[in-house]
Chains A and B, each alone.
Chain A
Amino acid sequence: MSFIHPLALLGLAAAAIPALLHLLQRRIPPEIDFPPVRYLSAAERESARRLKLRHLLLLILRTALIVAIVLAAARPLVPLRGGGAHQPTAAVVILDNSPSSGAIVDGGLVLDRLRVAARSSVGRTTSADRVWLMLCDGVLRGGSREALLATIDSTRAGWQRLDLVQAVERAARIVNAQPLPGREVQVLSDLQSTALASGRADVPSGVRVLALAPGRAVANRGITAVTVSEGAAVIELSGSMVGVAGTPQPVPVTIRIGGGHRDRGEIAARGLATPGSDRSGGATRSVVTVSLPAQSLAPGWWVGEAALEPDELRADDRRPFAWRVAPPARVMATSSAGSFVAAALAVLQDGKRIVDGRDVVISGGEAPAGSHAIVQPPVDPALVGQANRALASRGVPWRWGQLDTPGVLTSPELTVLNGVPVVRRYRIEGAGSGEPGAGGVLATVNGEPWLVRSGGVVLLGSRLDTAWTALPAAPGFVPFVDALVNRIVMGEAEVAAAEGAPRVEFRTRGTDTVGATVFGPDPRESDLTPATPVLATAALGGKDRTAVLTADRFASELFSGTRRADASGLLLVLALLLAAAELGVATRTR
C-alpha cells in the first residue's frame, strides 16, 4: 500500500485523543445531596458491565474514526486484483530460450509454452508501459508491442546459457530506474536449478518478480565434453536422470571423425558408458572412453563429433571436437637414454610416427641439447648434481632431488600411465627459490611430480628402464613415447571450448593453424532438474518480492501489482459508518 499524501499520516497521533480525553476528564466531580441514592446504587450495580462495555466501545469507535479520517486524508492506494487496466508499468519479460528450452515435455516444446506466456504478457501492455524483452543472450530488446510480439514469435531455442539470477538482478535494476508507478520483472523459464545456483538476486524494493512455475521434470543425458588423447576419445556425459535413478544402464555413444578443414575419410567408433558413477543433486556424470585408430590418421587437424541416441533434449546429444595429429617428429636418442627408449623409437619409426633428426633429443642425464629435449635422470647418482646444473643453465625451473619412495603413476592427461608402478625415482622439485608451480606437471607419483615440462624440456623422475619402473614393459609404453616426442615436448595445440552453436572454428597465424575453438551448449544445460518453488523464490529476490506462479495465476497476477485504487472514498464511508455507530452507541445508552 502506498499513499499520495504520506505526511498526513502524522495525524495518526490524533488517534490518542479519545484516550487522553478520557484520562484528562477524570477530575473530582461536584457533590450533590440526593436522597434516593439507594436507587442509584442499585441502578449502577445493574448497569456497571454495560457501561464499561459502552465506554470501551466508544473509545474504540472514536479512535477508529480518527484513524479512518487520517488515512483517508493520506489518500492510500491499494492494489487491485483481477481484470481492469493497470497503471503505467516498467516491465522486463525474460524469455529463457537457452538450450534447455528446446526440451520436449509432455509432447510439447518447453519454449512454446514459454512463448505463449510471453505473448500474453506483452499483449496486455499499453502505450503507457515501458517493456523490454530479454532472451538468453542477455540483450534487452525494446520497441513497440508489435515488434516485441514479432520477436517472441521468431524466437527459437538458443545456444547460450542464461544465468537467471544475474538476468533478474539486471532487469530489476532497469525497471527500478524507470519513473513509472509499476515495476515488474516477468520470468518465463524452465527454472533449471543450475540456472539459479549463482546466489540470490538483489531486487530493489518496489520491484515485483513473477516467475512462471516450471513444468514436469524429465530425464535427459547430454555430452558435456570430448577430449582426444593418444588412441582414445574421452567423452563426458551429464544430465538429469529423472525416472531412471538407481538403474545404471550402458549408454551408446557414437564417434564420427572427418569433415575437418581438410577433406578426410570418416571413422566411426562406438563405446558404452555406465552412468551413475558421479552423482550430485539431480545430475549424474559419467565418462566413456572410445579407442581411436590414431596411427591411421594423417598429420593435421581432425574434427569429429560424438553423438548420443536422441532423447528429450536434442541440443546436447551431439558435440563436436577437434584435435591435432602432429607430423612425425625428428627424434634422436643419446646412448644414455637406454635400450627401452631406443626400441620404442624403432617401433615408432617403423610406423612412420617419427623420423631421424635432432628436433627432439632424448637423453639420460646429459645437458639437454636441441630445441626440444626429453631428459631422464642419470644412471650414476653422482652425476645428478651436474645434470641439475645443466638444467639450471638451460633455464629449467625443476631439478632432481633425493631418491624417493616407490609408488604408482597418475596422470589425467596421459591415461596410459595410470596405475603403472614406479619402484625407483628421484623427487622432482623446484629449483632455486622460485616455485615452478603445478602447471607443468604432467604425471605424479604419490602426489609428487614425476613428469614435468618447462618450455621445450621434459623432465622424468625415473629412467625409462624396468629397473626403475614397469612402464617400459607396459603396453602403453610406445604410445607414451609417441605422445612425448610428438605432442608433449613439442607443445600441444590449444583447443578451447566456448558456448554457442555446435561447431569448430580454427585460429590461424599467417598460414599456420595454431588452435581451435569447439563450440557447444553449456554442460549445465543438460541437467533439466527444475528448482523447487522455494529455491526459485529465494534465488530470484526472496518471498517478499518474488512469486513463482502456475500459468493461471501468473496470467492473473501480471501487472496486478500496479492496479491500484484510491481508497480514501471507502475510508470516508467507513468513517461515516463509524460516526453513525458512535452516535448510536452514545445516544442509545443515555
Chain B
Amino acid sequence: MEFTEHRAYQPGDELRYLDWRILGRSDRLFVKQFEEETNLRAMILVDASRSMAWQGTPERLTKRAYADRLAAALALILLRQRDATGLVTFDEQVRQVIPARVKAGQWTRVVRGLLDTPDGQGTAAHAALQRLTALLTRRGMVVLLSDLLFDRELALAALRYLRHRGHQVIVFHLMDPAEVELSGPPEVRFKDPESALSVVVRPRELARAYADTVRREIAAWRKACRRHGIAYHHVQTDLPFGLALRLLT
C-alpha cells in the first residue's frame, strides 16, 4: 500500500488511517489514502428497456431519466474518489459498454454513453443481464439500476453469478409512484408497453389488491437479494437524488 493523498475524515473511516500530525498542527481531521483504496472498480448497469421510458405523470422523470441522473451522479462520486467507474446500458441487448477507468474525462464518457443509449425496444432485459456477467471479469462493485420488470429467477441467477465471482452487487429497484399506487379512470385497459399483455380493470376496485401485490413483489426481491448477499434498495422516482445516493452509505 502506497500513500497517495489526504482527504477529509468522514464518519466511518478507520481511525488508524487518521493523520495525527495534521490533527496536532491544525486541529483538522484528515485521513491518509493509499494506492490500493483507489483501485475499486465499479460498473453501473442501467436498464434501458422500454418499460423504463415510462412516467406516471408528465411532471415526473421517466424511470430511465431518473436512472441516468442517478448513474451520472454515482459515477461522479466514484470518480472523485478515484475509483475506476464504467457503464453498461442494456435492454434485451447490451447497448453501450464503457470500461471502468479512473482517468480524466471518464465521467464525460459515462454521461455520453447514457445519452447515446436510446430508450430500448426490447423486453427481455434479463437475457442481456446474463450476457453482462461475461464482461465483468475483474472483481468490483456492480450497481444495477432497473425497474426489475423481468423474470425474477432468471435475473437473480445472473446477479448470483456476479456475486459468486466476488462482485459487490447493489440493486436499485426503480419504480414510478404511479406504479405503486394504482389510479386512473373508473374503468381502463392497462397495456404492457413491452408485450401484448393487457387487462381491463376498475382501478378503484383493484387498488388495494394491486398495492398488496406490489408490496409482495418488493418484499420478494428484497428477501431474495438478502439471501444472496445482494444489497437491494427500492427507490421511487419522486425520491430526491441525494436521499437515493445516501442509500449507498
Q: Verify B189–A35 contact, CB threshold 8 A.
A: no
Q: Verify B191–A34 contact, CB threshold 8 A.
A: yes
Q: Per-residue 0/1 for A13-49: is the Cβ within 8 Å of any B Cβ (1 yes, 0 no)?
A: 0000000000001000111111111111111101100
B37 interface contact, C-beta 8 A: no
Q: Verify B210–A51 contact, CB threshold 8 A.
A: no
Contacting residues, chain A, for B199 (C-beta < 8 A): 37, 40-41, 44
Among B17-51, those with CB < 8 Å from A are 51
Nearest chain B CB to A333's CB is how many angstroms away? Answer: 120
Contacting residues, chain A, for B147 (C-beta < 8 A): 35
Expressed in whole angstroms, the Cα–Cα distance for A36 and B221 within the complex equals 15
Q: Verify A42–B213 contact, CB threshold 8 A.
A: yes
Q: Verify A43–B213 contact, CB threshold 8 A.
A: yes
**Contact partner of B184 among A32, A37, A44, A590, CB < 8 A?**
A32
* Interface size of A as a range: 20 to 34
A589 interface contact, C-beta 8 A: yes
Q: Verify B51–A43 contact, CB threshold 8 A.
A: no
**Contact partner of A590 among B54, B195, B208, CB < 8 A?**
B208
Contacting residues, chain A, for B212 (C-beta < 8 A): 43
Q: Verify B194–A31 contact, CB threshold 8 A.
A: no
Contacting residues, chain A, for B213 (C-beta < 8 A): 39-40, 42-43, 46
Contacting residues, chain B, for A54 (C-beta < 8 A): 205
B224 interface contact, C-beta 8 A: no
Expressed in whole angstroms, the Cα–Cα distance for A319 and B147 within the complex equals 114
Q: Per-residue 0/1 for B189-231: is the Cβ within 8 Å of any A Cβ (1 yes, 0 no)?
A: 1111111011111001111111011100100000000000000
**Contact partner of B205 among A25, A41, A589, CB < 8 A?**
A589
Known: A38-B197, A43-B212, A47-B206. A33 touches B182 (CB 8 A): no
Expressed in whole angstroms, the Cα–Cα distance for A30 and B190 within the complex equals 8
Q: Verify A31–B210 contact, CB threshold 8 A.
A: no
Contacting residues, chain B, for A37 (C-beta < 8 A): 190-192, 195, 197-199
Q: Verify B192–A39 contact, CB threshold 8 A.
A: no
Q: Verify A40–B190 contact, CB threshold 8 A.
A: yes
Q: Verify B209–A32 contact, CB threshold 8 A.
A: no
Nearest chain B CB to A100's CB is how many angstroms away? Answer: 75
Expressed in whole angstroms, the Cα–Cα distance for A34 and B198 within the complex equals 9
Expressed in whole angstroms, the Cα–Cα distance for A25 and B191 within the complex equals 21
Q: Verify B205–A35 contact, CB threshold 8 A.
A: no
Among A464-520, those with CB < 8 Å from B are none
Q: Verify A29–B200 contact, CB threshold 8 A.
A: yes
Q: Verify B189–A32 contact, CB threshold 8 A.
A: yes
Q: Which B residue's beta carbon lies closest to that of A31?
A: B189
Q: Verify B188–A32 contact, CB threshold 8 A.
A: yes
Q: Verify B201–A40 contact, CB threshold 8 A.
A: yes
- How many residues of chain B get a CB closer than 8 Å to chain A's CBs? 34
Contacting residues, chain B, for A47 (C-beta < 8 A): 205-206, 209
Expressed in whole angstroms, the Cα–Cα distance for A211 and B54 within the complex equals 83
Expressed in whole angstroms, the Cα–Cα distance for A37 and B214 within the complex equals 11
Expressed in whole angstroms, the Cα–Cα distance for A41 and B213 within the complex equals 10
B149 interface contact, C-beta 8 A: yes
Expressed in whole angstroms, the Cα–Cα distance for A25 and B200 within the complex equals 14
B187 interface contact, C-beta 8 A: yes
Q: Verify A38–B149 contact, CB threshold 8 A.
A: yes
Contacting residues, chain A, for B214 (C-beta < 8 A): 36, 39
B185 interface contact, C-beta 8 A: yes
B179 interface contact, C-beta 8 A: yes
Q: Verify B197–A41 contact, CB threshold 8 A.
A: yes
Q: Verify A39–B217 contact, CB threshold 8 A.
A: yes
Q: Verify A33–B54 contact, CB threshold 8 A.
A: yes
Known: A30-B188, A31-B189. A51 touches B205 (CB 8 A): yes
Expressed in whole angstroms, the Cα–Cα distance for A51 and B182 within the complex equals 16
Expressed in whole angstroms, the Cα–Cα distance for A590 and B194 within the complex equals 28
Expressed in whole angstroms, the Cα–Cα distance for A231 and B62 within the complex equals 132
Expressed in whole angstroms, the Cα–Cα distance for A419 and B206 within the complex equals 104
Contacting residues, chain A, for B189 (C-beta < 8 A): 29-32
**Contact partner of B210 among A29, A40, A589, CB < 8 A?**
A40
**Contact partner of A35 among B184, B194, B204, CB < 8 A?**
B194
Expressed in whole angstroms, the Cα–Cα distance for A466 and B205 within the complex equals 116
Contacting residues, chain B, for A32 (C-beta < 8 A): 184, 188-191
Expressed in whole angstroms, the Cα–Cα distance for A39 and B187 within the complex equals 17
Contacting residues, chain A, for B204 (C-beta < 8 A): 590
Expressed in whole angstroms, the Cα–Cα distance for A41 and B206 within the complex equals 10
Nearest chain A CB to B25's CB is how many angstroms away? Answer: 57
Known: A39-B217, A40-B199. A29 touches B185 (CB 8 A): yes
Q: Which A residue's beta carbon lies closest to that of B50?
A: A35
Q: Verify B210–A35 contact, CB threshold 8 A.
A: no
Q: Verify A35–B192 contact, CB threshold 8 A.
A: yes
Nearest chain A CB to B92's CB is how many angstroms away? Answer: 15
Expressed in whole angstroms, the Cα–Cα distance for A28 and B207 within the complex equals 21
Contacting residues, chain A, for B198 (C-beta < 8 A): 31, 37
Expressed in whole angstroms, the Cα–Cα distance for A39 and B147 within the complex equals 13
Nearest chain B CB to A582's CB is how many angstroms away? Answer: 15
Q: Verify B206–A30 contact, CB threshold 8 A.
A: no
Contacting residues, chain B, for A31 (C-beta < 8 A): 188-191, 198
Q: Which B residue's beta carbon lies closest to that of A26?
A: B187
Expressed in whole angstroms, the Cα–Cα distance for A248 and B214 within the complex equals 96
Expressed in whole angstroms, the Cα–Cα distance for A35 and B123 within the complex equals 11
Expressed in whole angstroms, the Cα–Cα distance for A30 and B198 within the complex equals 12
Q: Verify A33–B191 contact, CB threshold 8 A.
A: yes
Nearest chain B CB to A498's CB is how many angstroms away? Answer: 87
Nearest chain B CB to A586's CB is how many angstroms away? Answer: 9
Contacting residues, chain A, for B201 (C-beta < 8 A): 40, 44
Nearest chain B CB to A331's CB is how many angstroms away? Answer: 117
Nearest chain A CB to B239's CB is how many angstroms away? Answer: 18
Q: Verify B206–A43 contact, CB threshold 8 A.
A: yes
Expressed in whole angstroms, the Cα–Cα distance for A319 and B204 within the complex equals 93
Nearest chain B CB to A28's CB is how many angstroms away? Answer: 8
Contacting residues, chain A, for B182 (C-beta < 8 A): 40
Expressed in whole angstroms, the Cα–Cα distance for A33 and B176 within the complex equals 13
Expressed in whole angstroms, the Cα–Cα distance for A30 and B187 within the complex equals 8
Q: Per-residue 0/1 for B40-68: is the Cβ within 8 Å of any A Cβ (1 yes, 0 no)?
A: 00000000000100100000000000000
Expressed in whole angstroms, the Cα–Cα distance for A375 and B207 within the complex equals 119
**Contact partner of B188 among A25, A29, A43, CB < 8 A?**
A29
Expressed in whole angstroms, the Cα–Cα distance for A590 and B189 within the complex equals 18
Expressed in whole angstroms, the Cα–Cα distance for A32 and B187 within the complex equals 11
Q: Per-residue 0/1 for A172-183: is the Cβ within 8 Å of any B Cβ (1 yes, 0 no)?
A: 000000000000
Nearest chain A CB to B7's CB is how many angstroms away? Answer: 41
* Most A-side CB within 10 Å, residue of B175, B193, B210, B217: B210
Expressed in whole angstroms, the Cα–Cα distance for A507 and B217 within the complex equals 115
Expressed in whole angstroms, the Cα–Cα distance for A96 and B195 within the complex equals 91
Known: A35-B54, A37-B192, A589-B205. A43 touches B210 (CB 8 A): yes
Contacting residues, chain B, for A33 (C-beta < 8 A): 54, 190-193
Q: Which B residue's beta carbon lies closest to that of A54?
A: B205
Contacting residues, chain B, for A44 (C-beta < 8 A): 199, 201, 206, 209
Give 28 pairs: A residue, B residue, CB < 8 Å, sorted on A. Answer: A25-B187, A29-B188, A29-B189, A31-B188, A32-B188, A33-B54, A34-B179, A34-B191, A34-B192, A35-B193, A37-B190, A37-B192, A37-B197, A37-B198, A38-B149, A38-B197, A39-B179, A39-B210, A39-B217, A40-B213, A43-B206, A43-B209, A43-B210, A44-B201, A47-B205, A47-B209, A589-B205, A590-B208
Which 5 residue pairs across A and B have the least CB separation, nearest first? A35-B51, A34-B190, A37-B192, A43-B209, A43-B213
